[in-house]
Chain A
Amino acid sequence: MKVPTSRFGAIDIPEDQVIHVPLGLIGFPNQKRYVLLEHKKGSPFIWFQAVDDEDLAFVLIDPLLCKPDYEIRVNSEDRKSLELPDSCEGLQTMVTVNITPGDPPEITANLLGPVAINLPKKLAKQIVLHQSPYSTRHPIPTIRK
């Protein structure tokens, strides 16, 4: 299927690669379909491009590359919506990346609202961590390849 995007032009993605986000990301409840696009081949940064809004895209990264001891608890309610009733097998946690203005500007990750993706089922949900020490703007250290 062809997906028009304002950042990457029209992209061609197999329909079975579409990730469904039934509740949308927080603040974007109407956008429920996304695709994953590598920033560059081999890059740890992945774009999460909305299928039905060409302007809407987020950068994602594996939180363990930002904070090696990152840990979250996925509660039963979240597991249910991700169709993972018994275990977290196949679950990939990603976090959104932002450019935080400053001198110099910094690349930061939102560790407080991770996006949990059930990769085999192509199902995702943004999880809100309560009573968590994590920040929405955690500086990302330089990533060694």
Chain B
Amino acid sequence: MLILSRKIGECITIGEEIKVYVVDIRGKQVRLGIEAPAHAPIYRQEVYQKILEENRSASRVDLADFGQMIKRRE
């Protein structure tokens, strides 16, 4: 992993299209400003990870199991 030091107002560029600005630092919180094209969506990692895991799990729903569960509820 590449680790860089930046001050408030400074920026890093990733590839041709992505820029990350350090907007503010307050105590243990850093505020970042990010410019990226639409094909590079930006997510908070913990939320993204939760949805990723849920998607993987939901993609394995078995048709017969699901049908049975629905029937039991009716």
Q: Chain A interface (Cβ within 8 Å of chain B)?
A: 7-8, 22-23, 25-28, 39, 43, 45, 56-59, 77, 80-81, 96-99, 105, 107, 110, 112-113, 126, 128-130, 136-137, 142
State whether A59 touches B61 (Cβ < 8 A). yes
Q: Is B17 an interface residue (CB 8 A)?
A: no
Query: Which of A58, A110, A142 contacts B73 (CB under 8 A)?
Result: A142
State whether A28 touches B59 (Cβ < 8 A). yes
Given the interface pairs A81-B38, A128-B48, A142-B73, the reply to whether A25 lies near B55 with Cβ below 8 Å is yes
State whether A23 touches B39 (Cβ < 8 A). yes
Residues of A within 8 A of B39 (CB): 22-23
Q: Is B5 an interface residue (CB 8 A)?
A: no
If over half of A's interface residues share one DSSP class (helix, strand or loop), that class is named, otherwise mixed; here it is loop
State whether B54 touches A137 (Cβ < 8 A). yes
Residues of A within 8 A of B41 (CB): 23, 77, 128
Given the interface pairs A58-B58, A98-B57, the reply to whether A112 lies near B66 with Cβ below 8 Å is no
Which B residues from 36 to 54 make CB contacts under 8 A with A? 38-39, 41, 43-44, 47-48, 50-54
Q: Is B69 an interface residue (CB 8 A)?
A: yes
Residues of B within 8 A of A45 (CB): 66, 70
Given the interface pairs A107-B73, A112-B47, the reply to whether A27 lies near B38 with Cβ below 8 Å is no
Residues of B within 8 A of A43 (CB): 70
Ordered by A's residue number, 17 sampled pairs between the chains whose C-beta atoms are within 8 Å are A8-B63, A26-B51, A27-B56, A57-B59, A96-B58, A98-B58, A98-B61, A99-B61, A99-B65, A113-B55, A126-B55, A128-B41, A128-B48, A130-B43, A130-B47, A136-B54, A142-B73
